[in-house]
Structure 1
Amino acid sequence: MNLRGTKEMVELAADIRNLKVFIHVSTSYSNTNRETLEEILYPPHADWRETLHICETVDSHTLKVLTPKYLGELPNTYTFSKQLAENVVADVEEPVPGWIENFNGPAALLAACGKDPDLVADYMPVDISIKSFIVASWLRGTKELSPTDDVPIYNCCAGKLNNITMGQMIAMGRQIYPSVPVNDMLWTPGGDLTKSKTIHYIKVIFLHLLPAILVDTILWLAGRKPMLVKIQRRIYIANLALMYYITKQWTFDNKNLVLMRSRIKNEDKKQFYYEMENVDQYKYFVNAVKGGKKYLLKEKDEDMPKAKRHYNRMVVVDIIVQIAFYSTLFWWFLNLNCIQNLISLISNHS
């Protein structure tokens, strides 16, 4: 999809008369083996013809064996194929079809499932991205070209213009959620970030898997279809696919993107000028949560008061359960033989 689709679009563009510009939108993560990403075209990670020949002539098992050798420092076939697609666009004289085994988009989930609170999460409102695509198209399409012109490349990202760490994002989420809770929540939202894999997996078991099994058991006993374990499994698999992207830090250079907006005409600035540095982060994520409720969960705005009442009830239930849990844990600890002997020893000495 990534490589062959791009090749076929380039071939289609070549057949269109009077075409002024062709814009290819890649991904910021096509060269993840580099810590600093400049606005340039990097060399391909593999030979296109050799890749195509192997994919068309060997069986699926052999492909699985060869894939890690091809990927090298790249994390998956998504990144690999997107990087090759960039070179297809840059070198239309030699379009080569390619292959892809799966699709692991790095932006598929909110980066709150990361494990380092100090990592910077690069977020940009989609309307700013679209405006920059249109401006880039206009600049390229209205310029007299010469054979020596390079392909203009822009890192469409926040970069250093408007930073937010994953820790700040989690804190912001805690502030936002009480005002826009989802309908019929099973428990109050929580969680935090940790740099320890051991602690992470312990929390996955005790805070995700075991509660999901308990809820599914109750649903099964009530004659309803269990669902939570299945959902948690999907979240866990998605987290594994994105782990490479949400546990590493890259520096994106977007000087070309910033310079590009200075070329916009005064009469077009109202519609197309973009200021990433002035985006209100809190408002951005509030709108993101509201959009998720409305367009993904299909929830209605008029249900919000009911959702808030249910949220407040679940907060009380959560407090009661925590008090009961830690009280039971404390009672169990006090009744251990070693603790009883220690208490008796202290009492006798007193």
Structure 2
Amino acid sequence: MVSTRMAAMEVPSVQTSVSDFYIGKTVFITGGTGFMGKVLLEKLLRSCPGVSKIYLLIRSRKGQNAQERLQQLLCSPLFDALRKEHPTDLQKVAPIEGDITQPELAISTSDRTMLFRCVNIVFHSAATVKFDEKLKLSVTINMLGTQRLIELCRRMTYLEALIHVSTAYCNCDRSVVEEKIYPPPMGPEQVSSVVEALEENLVDTLTPKLVGNRPNTYTFTKALAECWLRENKGDLPLVIVRPSIVISSINGPLKGWVDNWNGPTGIIAAAGKGLFRTMLCDPNKKADLVPVDMVINLMITAAWNIGTHKTKEIPIYNCCTGQRRPITWHRFIDLCFVYMRKHPFSEITWYPDGTVTASPLQNNIYRVFLQWLPAYVVDAVVWMIGGKPIMVKIQDKLCKAAKCLEYFTTQQWEFDDKNVQALSFQLSEQDKNEFCFDVAQINWEEYIEDYVLGIRRFIFKEEETSLPKARKQVSKLYWIYRILQVLSVMSLWHFLTLRYAPLRQLWSNALRLLVHIARMLSFVK
């Protein structure tokens, strides 16, 4: 099999467009039901219409088999344009029932044989992206799952490109990250042996020591997978793409499309509902956020590049915005609030506002008075009238989510992206437009407005017709919020002036001055 594939790979290739490269090709995708996988599938069908077949590895779950899950996936609004304009193209997609955690990916013998004979391009995006995932499961999916996929790829006769999706933060123990593979503190085989040999509770106990300077099991196991790939790729046409924090789409077919609560999205959504008001964050640090469709465009183009320009090296692409289109957390959060007030969510609990601070003490104080105390008060009132208290539980989940992000919102990295820029230079103008991954073109104001609208539409399922009512509600809450702020300040000042004579004198002098100024203005008129 290997010699046959090598012979196929050594056939001289003619420079062609990205779209034309996919003509007649068969693609296999892991993680196709995930956020990035859906965008990849839609983009391949829409912008590479010559693609022959796309197979998705799908695990049966919750009483749904792989075919039923595929049909549910294709009903997503993301595929509306394809269903309307090119409905027959959706028939190119077929499920392969399997499981990334099982030997041979739990793919049937007949399906494996078919994949070996026909697959040309593999996109491996299956992973657990939970930051607080237990190490045993994270190793099983992110590292062992990658190893199992590689073993299948070795037997694919006509494989031309294998794209492995990693993360820019797999080397977050370094402040400067180049587009190369760094050795982890422990070898992947050692970690794998420890995880497989020990009971889960013992692995949990050892996790902090094994993970070392990395903040979570996700970044740790992604680093292990990269290290293993470097040592075991053989002659496979492997590429590694490392996105930073992936959020909503910036371009078509749906601007602002997002379908999960991961990363900043859940926090922003909660802040827009008035439930989340403070976070530990250095406002002056860069927020390295990247649109999902730009990551997908880079992946598709990277497959084209290695498929038409053979190399024994492993091309690595840091898909990030911090170098060429930076935005600070302060600017990002401010813009989110601007557009959450312009396009408010329906049935919000309180006026959308909040603060970020680099001080853990301040953040804890704000959290107690602005989040926990109101939550307990609301739950107490709900309980007394016979309802079901939920606000404290919501705050608990939000605080855990915020805790997972703190490592990334209080630090900053320099992700080198020379390979990404070099790849862009190789594209024709047409391909640059169709498969744009030039982050320098991002207009943050427009993009964040679409992001907020996307959360409103795709996360909360709210129609545009609900906006007038939502704006009236947020306007009322604004005045209530401001009046309460004024009353709180006056009450605090009144309390202080009653206790301290110098403050009483200062307050009296201030009032006399205001009366004097008012009289002077009246006299001038």
Give your verdict on TM over 0.5. yes
Match of 1:331? 494
Q: Secondary structure in 1 aligned to 2:150?
A: helix
- C-alpha distance in 1 between matches for 2:233 and 2:337: 52
Q: Return 5+ residue gaps in structure 2 as ranges.
A: 1-140, 235-243, 247-261, 269-278, 510-525
User: In structure 2, do the counterparts of structure 1 residues 109 and 144 end up closer, same or farther at CA, with 3 Å as the change threshold?
Assistant: closer
Match of 1:28? 168
Aligned AA (1:225): K
Q: Once the 2 structures are TM-superposed, how far is the Cα of residue 62 of structure 1 from its aligned partner? A: 2.4
- C-alpha distance in 2 between matches for 1:150 and 1:240: 38
> What are the superposed Cα offsets for residues 56-93 of structure 1, whole Å, 9 maximum, x if unpaired?
22223322332222222222211110101112332336
1:171 aligns with 2:337: no
Match of 1:205? 368
Q: Once the 2 structures are TM-superposed, how far is the Cα of residue 340 of structure 1 from its aligned partner? A: 8.0
1:109 aligns with 2:109: no
User: In structure 2, do the counterparts of structure 1 residues 330 and 126 end up closer, same or farther at CA, with 3 Å as the change threshold?
Assistant: same
Match of 1:314? 477
- C-alpha distance in 1 between matches for 2:430 and 2:173: 42
Match of 2:46? none
Match of 2:520? none
- C-alpha distance in 1 between matches for 2:429 and 2:335: 36
> What are the superposed Cα offsets for residues 6-53 of structure 1, whole Å, 9 maximum, x if unpaired?
112212211222010100010011011110000011113312222222
- C-alpha distance in 1 between matches for 2:179 and 2:478: 48
1:140 aligns with 2:306: yes
2:151 alignment partner, one of 6, 11, 33: 11
1:152 aligns with 2:315: yes
Comparing 3-12 with 266-275, greater Cα deviation is found at: 266-275
For the 8 Å contact 2:167–2:222, the answer to whether it is kept is yes
Comparing 71-80 with 127-136, greater Cα deviation is found at: 71-80
> What is the TM-score of this pair, normalised by structure 1?
0.88
- How well do the aligned residues superpose, as a CA RMSD in angstroms? 2.3
1:279 aligns with 2:279: no
- C-alpha distance in 2 between matches for 1:62 and 1:144: 45
User: In structure 2, do the counterparts of structure 1 residues 11 and 319 end up closer, same or farther at CA, with 3 Å as the change threshold?
Assistant: same
Q: Once the 2 structures are TM-superposed, how far is the Cα of residue 304 of structure 1 from its aligned partner? A: 0.8
For the 8 Å contact 1:24–1:89, the answer to whether it is kept is no
Q: Once the 2 structures are TM-superposed, how far is the Cα of residue 341 of structure 1 from its aligned partner? A: 10
1:2 aligns with 2:166: no
For the 8 Å contact 1:106–1:245, the answer to whether it is kept is no
For the 8 Å contact 1:45–1:80, the answer to whether it is kept is no
Kindly report which structure 2 residues correspond to 1:180-195, keeping only aligned pairs within 5 A, or say none.
Answer: 180-195=343-358
> What are the superposed Cα offsets for residues 317-337 of structure 1, whole Å, 9 maximum, x if unpaired?
11121122222212211222x
1:125 aligns with 2:281: no
Q: Once the 2 structures are TM-superposed, how far is the Cα of residue 194 of structure 1 from its aligned partner? A: 1.6
For the 8 Å contact 2:245–2:288, the answer to whether it is kept is no
Aligned AA (1:321): L
Q: Secondary structure in 2 aligned to 1:29?
A: helix
- C-alpha distance in 1 between matches for 2:345 and 2:233: 52
1:259 alignment partner, one of 393, 412, 422: 422
User: In structure 2, do the counterparts of structure 1 residues 198 and 58 end up closer, same or farther at CA, with 3 Å as the change threshold?
Assistant: same
Q: Secondary structure in 1 aligned to 2:357?
A: coil
Q: Secondary structure in 2 aligned to 1:154?
A: strand
For the 8 Å contact 1:116–1:195, the answer to whether it is kept is yes
Aligned AA (1:41): I
- Percent identity between matched residues is 31
Aligned AA (2:177): L
Q: Return 5+ residue gaps in structure 1 as ranges.
A: 95-104
Q: Secondary structure in 2 aligned to 1:237?
A: helix
Q: Secondary structure in 2 aligned to 1:150?
A: coil
For the 8 Å contact 1:6–1:88, the answer to whether it is kept is no
Q: Once the 2 structures are TM-superposed, how far is the Cα of residue 114 of structure 1 from its aligned partner? A: 4.6
- C-alpha distance in 2 between matches for 1:271 and 1:50: 44
